[in-house]
Amino acid sequence: MLTLRNVSKTYPSAQGPVHVLRGIDLDLPAGQTLALTGESGSGKSTLLHLAAALDAADGGEIVVAGQSLVGMGDSARAQLRRERIGLVFQQFNLVPSLKVRENLAFQARIAGRHDPAWVESLTQKLGLSKLVDRYPEQLSGGQQQRVAIGRTLACRPNLILADEPTGNLDEETSDAVLKLCLDLVEQTGSAFLMVTHSPRLAGLLGRRIHLSAGRLA
């Protein structure tokens, strides 16, 4: 579902170019889960942004759901994100002016594949039924992240990319939210790539890779 071949990324900086990624090779087939660990500043988020078609690599090739990202324009990338990819962020990134119910449905609606029954069952499974009429600011961090996960799953993406999704949550909540998430991912058959600091959480996923000095180990 996600393939990286010899991917590199360099940022310019005042002290000269910073080679964040130097030739990354990665395969993530459908239905598999993968944890990506690494020091802070090692380039985990950079890799995730490249895979999510949010940014373009300087070298190598990235293929998502059979489509190569090389040379792809903004509209096509947006379409790919809409239809194939789900993103979960550390800061939840909910739309503050939409109620929980609207936040859950929002990406699926933009993708044109809103399925009310599926959203309803997600809402129940994520334990959000009583909260649907609240605004994000009226929720706790764990509740907000569950909404973000629900929003992502609502459009049944082929590839889910999560950047330290539990980074803002306490240990207990983290475990609960992640387990719930993995259950649902299994049901949808998506590929799941999660960046995390925690070896404990990484252990809950199918496979684990480590990023260091711009290379995978």
Ligand X SMILES: Nc1ncnc2c1ncn2[C@@H]1O[C@H](COP(=O)(O)OP(=O)(O)O)[C@@H](O)[C@H]1O
By beta-carbon proximity to other proteins, the closer residue of 106 and 118 is: 106
Q: What is the Cα–Cα distance from 161 to 24, expressed in whole angstroms?
A: 17
Binding segment for ligand X among 13-21, 79-87, 135-143, 167-175 (CB under 6 A)? 13-21
Site residues (vs other proteins, CB under 8 A): 45, 49, 52, 54-55, 74-75, 77-83, 85, 87, 89, 93-98, 102, 106-107, 109-112, 135, 141, 151, 168
- Output the six-digit token pair for 91: 């800061």
193-210 exposure pattern, b = at least 16 Cβ within 10 A, e = fewer: bbbbebeebbebbeebbb
Cα 115 to chain center, whole Å? Answer: 21
The single residue among 32, 33, 45, 158 that binds ligand X, judged by CB under 6 A, is 45
Q: Do you know the residue count of the chain?
A: 217
By beta-carbon proximity to other proteins, the closer residue of 155 and 178 is: 155
> Can residue 11 be called a binding residue for ligand X (CB under 6 A)?
yes
Binding segment for Mg ion among 2-10, 29-37, 39-47, 144-152 (CB under 5 A)? 39-47
The single residue among 32, 33, 42, 45 that binds Mg ion, judged by CB under 5 A, is 45
Strand order of the β-sheet with 2-11 is: 18-28, 2-11, 59-64, 67-68
Question: Half-sphere exposure of residue 94, counting CA atoms within 13 Å on the CB side?
Answer: 30
> Can residue 41 be called a binding residue for ligand X (CB under 6 A)?
yes
> Can residue 165 be called a binding residue for ligand X (CB under 6 A)?
no
Phi and psi at residue 4, to the nearest 5°: -115, 130
Applying CB under 6 A, which residues contact ligand X? Answer: 11, 13, 18, 20, 38, 40-46
Applying CB under 5 A, which residues contact Mg ion? Answer: 45
